[in-house]
Amino acid sequence: AGHPGPILALGDIAYPRGSSDEFRRCFDPVWGRFKGRIIPVPGNHEYGTPEAAGYFEYFGASAGTPGEGWHIRAIGAWRIIGLNSNLVGAAAAAQLRWLDAELAANRQPCTLAFFHHPRFSSGKHGNQDAMDAVWRLLAGGRATLVLAGHDHHYERFAPRDADGRADPNGTRSFVVGTGGARLYPVPPARAPSKFTANQSWGVLKLELSRDGYRWEFQPVESGAP
């Protein structure tokens, strides 16, 4: 509440099935007052309800077209791209074509992409190979930042190139799975991981400027329910 600006919700927003009732009873009483600031993407738990209907109903136009779930907007010097990492088959291919076209047409100096399943993670679920094609497009298109959730810990990686190799001029990624569900143990970090933490729930605060960005993980002050 003390920080203005957009709030990126990285999926698995209403447990355990993302139903309309769970959004109404569990999510809205706390986060509903910020609904106009939230830019969401769906997680796998949203698809516990067929076609993620509860998610698309609750967020409306902010969630993108039902059955697709990808969207884009400009915020200052940044292009903000939300992707649906649950898609498979023809729907996933359509999203890739859309992303490729958007990256080719992008004239913003900086790009942030976010979705639920992380391409790279040291956590319980680990690297998500299904997101490789998305990562290659983003890194090849010189995306600045990529955010994901799914694994219930916080992790920051060094920038990487399209092949996943450390590259100081590449794309930096974060895992921010600290929204309230049970935190997972974190195995030994996978290079080029720079920092991992699973001691507290919290949010990642980003300050985006025309020529760069700053980050700070902000833990909750008194635990989570």
pLDDT tens-digit profile of 66-123? 999 999 999 999 999 999 999 999 999 999 999 999 999 988 899 999 999 999 999 9
CA atoms of 194 and 3, how far apart (whole Å) = 26
**pTM > 0.85: yes or no:** yes
E-state strands within 22-169: 38-40, 71-75, 78-82, 110-114, 145-148, 154-157
CA atoms of 56 and 217, how far apart (whole Å) = 28
Judged by DSSP in three states, 104 sits in: helix
CA atoms of 111 and 144, how far apart (whole Å) = 5
Query: Residues 159, 80, 138, CA angle at the centre, nearest 5°?
Result: 40
Residues found in the chain: 225
CA atoms of 184 and 165, how far apart (whole Å) = 26
- Stretch 176-197: mean pLDDT, rounded? 92
Mean pLDDT of the chain: 95
Of all residues in the chain, the percent with pLDDT exceeding 70 is 98
Pairing of strands 145-148, 172-176: parallel
Residue type at position 192:
P
The pLDDT assigned to 157 comes to 97
pLDDT band at 195 (very low <50, low <70, confident <90, very high): very high
Q: Tens digit of pLDDT for each residue in 140-155?
A: 999 999 999 999 999 9
